[in-house]
A and B are shown apart, each in its own frame.
Chain A
């Protein structure tokens, strides 16, 4: 007896984009960071583009698979880095999920990117403070981290905007 698991179009989309996001995630981990904890998070561009084109469910799959498999590839699975990464991804997904449900018509990739970046860093900071470094001095870092998050959110948003433009050309031009 053989069982076959039918894969649907959505599964293929998830697999393709998750693979792309994982590749970006792993490549980016090779870039040294000027300050620990600061990272552009280019893989999130993929999440945002998928969100706008294929909906929240697909974006959530892509994002969580990226965190899980990315950590396995890099070797940080279940380490503090992974916990921070996962908590940040979950928070971002929650926030962009709410924004997507409430104001889909009024938002573009830029808005989602900035919202996700800020949600990401605030949650990571909170988790880091609760679990790993419960020291008041950590709060001195928060303004810097949020500043960088807003900048990276805007940078990623601009990249996603550029990608959206090309995608539209691809789809709508004969």
Chain B
């Protein structure tokens, strides 16, 4: 191994914390939450304003709370409560859904994603 090798390794390892800071840090927080109920127009709510929303889905009302830049399902008429267990969502791209109640919640930031994914 040479000195240049060592330099390359040190630079690579030293750049890692920056990457974590950049992509997992506060800069990557979302600004709005996009709530979609099946067959309805998506509704957008700012993550900056704390509020509690009652969203009417197929089974009944799901309660979504926005608090301190984070959003979560706190009550839902579904059986498994997966949406509630998924917890708080604050980062750009975070997504959760209550499939029985036909509601999805996703955090969006400045960039607009055209597709969720493409499969083959």
Residues on A lying within 8 angstroms of B by beta carbon are: 79-80, 103, 106-108, 110-111, 114-115, 118, 131-140, 142-143, 146-147, 150, 153-154, 157, 161
CB distance from B93 to the nearest CB of A (A): 3
State in angstroms the CA–CA spacing of A111 and B47 once bound together.
45
Task: Select A138's contact among B1, B5, B9, B93, beta carbons within 8 Å.
Answer: B93
Which secondary structure characterizes the binding site on chain A? helix
- In the assembled complex, which residues on chain B have CB atoms less than 8 Å from the CB atom of A142? 19, 23
- In the assembled complex, which residues on chain A have CB atoms less than 8 Å from the CB atom of B114? 134
A to B CB contacts below 8 Å, 16 in the list: A110-B2, A111-B9, A114-B8, A134-B118, A136-B92, A136-B93, A136-B108, A136-B111, A137-B91, A139-B93, A140-B23, A146-B16, A147-B16, A150-B13, A153-B12, A157-B5
State in angstroms the CA–CA spacing of A80 and B118 once bound together.
10
User: 10 other contacts beyond A139-B93, A140-B91, with CB at 8 A cut-off?
Assistant: A107-B5, A108-B2, A111-B8, A114-B9, A134-B114, A135-B115, A136-B111, A137-B93, A146-B16, A150-B9
State in angstroms the CA–CA spacing of A137 and B30 once bound together.
11
